[in-house]
Amino acid sequence: MTEPAAIGDLDLAALISSRICHDVISPVGAIANGLEMLGEEQDEAMREQTMDLIRKSARQASAKLQFARLAFGAAGSAGAEIDLRDAERVAKDVVQGKHSLSWQGPPVTLPKNKVKLLLNLVALGVVALPRGGTVSVDITGEGPAVAFTVLAKGEPARLPEHVASLLAGGNGGALDAHSIQPYYAGRVAAAAGMTVTVEGRDNEVALKAA
């Protein structure tokens, strides 16, 4: 493994903020455009179509922000635990459209860093499927001693090599708002006492944490 990537806390916070803004700017922009159109449009049918767009975009923005709150945010005080049912709900709300999500696991609470790691692996499962597909979550074990497998299935299914390196704590090259997520997931895995591995095969990418 190459030497670990190094980044200061201020840079990490800035890049995570950029990543969240990148995720929500599209639906928020669509809401702003829709409201502007409503102020000019007189045709009732067009106004209703515009309202549908605004409602859909508002749901998307809310889902992305709730996901980011658990995946990147503090989500409670130090040592807090998170209910996996909440994690499943926000994951299913954000994984929509050309992607679908399957979730198998017990309805228990886990230390927040383990849940943050799981949600980041789900997001990377979506990244591995640029044309869409299925992201399957399998949670095994009892109590805090759990293991995660996130399986991305679709054509094609792939993650860049530097992503696996960053997840493992290696130096995957220069960090930016796109590559910050696997780096952050690697940091969270270390804090949770877990190790992440990536396995690729035909039209499948498996992200495992134990």
Neighbours of 68 (CB within 10 A): 21
Determine the Cα–Cα distance for residues 20 and 65; give it in Å rounded to an integer. 8
Give the rounded percent of residues in the chain with a pLDDT score beyond 90. Answer: 73
What does the pLDDT look like over 89-111, one tens digit per residue? 999 999 988 999 999 999 999 99
pLDDT of residue 177: 84
Under a CB-based contact definition with an 8 Å cutoff, are residues 186 and 207 in contact?
A: no
Residue in the structure block whose two tokens are 């709900």: 89
Share the mean pLDDT of the chain.
Answer: 90
pLDDT of residue 109: 92
Torsion over CA: 24, 177, 154, 70 (sign): negative
Of the candidates 193, 128, 173, the residue with the CA atom closest to the CA atom of residue 5: 173
AA letter at 68 = A
AA letter at 160 = P
Q: In CATH, what class is 9-209?
A: alpha beta
Please spell the DSSP secondary structure of 64-128, one letter per residue. Answer: HHHHHHHHTS--SSTT-EEEHHHHHHHHHHHS-TTEEEEEE--S-EEEHHHHHHHHHHHHHHHHT
Residues with Cβ within 8 Å of residue 183, at least 6 apart in sequence: 5, 7, 166, 172, 175
Tokens for 97, please give them: 């459209």
What does the pLDDT look like over 148-207, one tens digit per residue? 999 999 999 998 888 888 888 777 677 888 889 999 999 999 999 999 999 998 899 999
> How sure is the predictor about 41, in pLDDT bands with cuts at 50, 70 and 90?
confident
Helix (H, G, I), strand (E, B) or coil at 138: strand
Determine the Cα–Cα distance for residues 107 and 99; give it in Å rounded to an integer. 23
Q: Where are the domains of the chain?
A: 9-209
Of the candidates 206, 186, 202, the residue with the CA atom closest to the CA atom of residue 194: 186
Determine the Cα–Cα distance for residues 118 and 74; give it in Å rounded to an integer. 15
pTM of the model: 0.89
Determine the Cα–Cα distance for residues 123 and 207; give it in Å rounded to an integer. 11
